[in-house]
């Protein structure tokens, strides 16, 4: 994953392990959250409680790239059919996930 810290700090506690991002106790499974369009997940704190989205001070932003597919030929499909193959999603390349950690003021 590409991790960037912004500001002089202190920064909230965070950890990254095998596609799981945890910031201030909020855990995001990046592979489970991947979709056909880019996903941006904000973690914020309001009244001292960290939460996904909502209002409050920005603690982190997680950008998950769109799902990628591999097209395979379907042997049973008619050769003249344009969509004669099937699409299979490839696993998330966690090196493409961007995590920005903001100063916890």
Given a cut of 70, whether residue 81 has pLDDT beyond it is no
User: What number is the average pLDDT over the span 80-92?
Assistant: 76
pLDDT at 75: 53
**Rg over CA atoms, the chain:** 18
pTM: 0.84
CB-neighbour burial class of residue 26 (10 A; exposed 0-12, middle 13-18, buried 19+): buried
Q: Where are the domains of the chain?
A: 7-67+91-102
Contact assessment for residue 26 and residue 52, using Cβ atoms and an 8 Å cutoff? yes
Given a cut of 90, whether residue 60 has pLDDT beyond it is yes
Given a cut of 80, whether residue 105 has pLDDT beyond it is no
* Bond prior to 94 in cis (omega within 30° of 0): no
SS3 82: coil
Please give the Cα distance from 80 to 69 (Å, whole number).
22
User: What number is the average pLDDT over the span 87-101?
Assistant: 95
Overall residue count recorded for the chain in this entry:
105
User: What number is the average pLDDT over the span 70-77?
Assistant: 70
From the list 69, 4, 8, the residue with the least C-alpha distance to 35 is 69
């Amino acid at each position: 994953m590409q991790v960037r810290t912004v500001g002089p700090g202190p920064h909230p506690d965070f950890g990254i392990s095998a596609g799981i991002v945890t910031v201030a106790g909020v855990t995001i499974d990046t592979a489970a959250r991947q979709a056909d369009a880019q996903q941006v997940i904000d973690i914020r704190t309001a009244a001292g409680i960290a939460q996904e989205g909502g209002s409050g001070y920005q603690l982190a932003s997680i950008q998950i790239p769109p799902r990628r597919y591999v097209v395979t030929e379907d042997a049973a499909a008619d050769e003249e059919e344009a969509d004669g193959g099937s699409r299979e999603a490839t696993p998330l390349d966690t090196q493409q996930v961007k995590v920005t950690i903001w100063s916890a003021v």
